[in-house]
Amino acid sequence: MAQIHRLQVETEVKSSAAKFYNMVRNNMPDLTKVFPECYKNIEVVEGNGRSVGSVMLWKYVVVSPKVLATKEKIEVIDDKSRSITYKVIEGEIMDIYRSFSLKIQVYEKSGGGSLVKWFVEFEKANDAVPSPNHFMNLLDMASKKLDAYLIKA
């Protein structure tokens, strides 16, 4: 029977939840400007990139120097809870995982700023496949870089 694994990373940021979520919700291709050493290209290949069913092609680096390509489909958008769920549908990551999805949720903090939570669910192709800890580190770093960018803007 398939075993679904879950990982989570939380990042405290200074940006408001509304501002951070708005950037993720409406401007994902701009991550190439925010974090060019990691995100090489983000292209909307189906839909508008801001609605359920949209598909984006990501070219990114998790562990230098190899550039990976992944197609992700937006599965769920919940503006009320400030969350978006993506499912990986193509790419190198699918060579080692049978399924791979990620969700971002942004929470307002009472003292200001916000908490960004990334949830990753995956099924390994076999027991020798490692958990995607490098990917979790990337999500944490991307959240911090995006926050720094938003504070300057």
Per-residue pLDDT of the chain (153 residues), as tens digits, is 579 999 999 999 999 999 999 999 999 888 899 889 889 999 999 999 999 999 999 999 887 778 999 999 999 999 999 999 999 999 999 999 999 999 999 999 999 999 999 999 999 999 999 999 998 999 999 999 999 999 997
Q: Would you say the pTM of this structure is higher than 0.85?
A: yes
- Predicted confidence at residue 116, as pLDDT, reads 99
- Predicted confidence at residue 1, as pLDDT, reads 54
CATH number, position 121: 3.30.530.20
Q: How many domains does the chain have?
A: 1
Q: Output the 3-class SS for 105-148.
A: EEEECCCCCEEEEEEEEEEECCCCCCCCHHHHHHHHHHHHHHHH
The sign of the CA dihedral 44, 46, 47, 52 is negative
For residue 87, give the DSSP letter: E
Domain extent at residue 44? 4-152
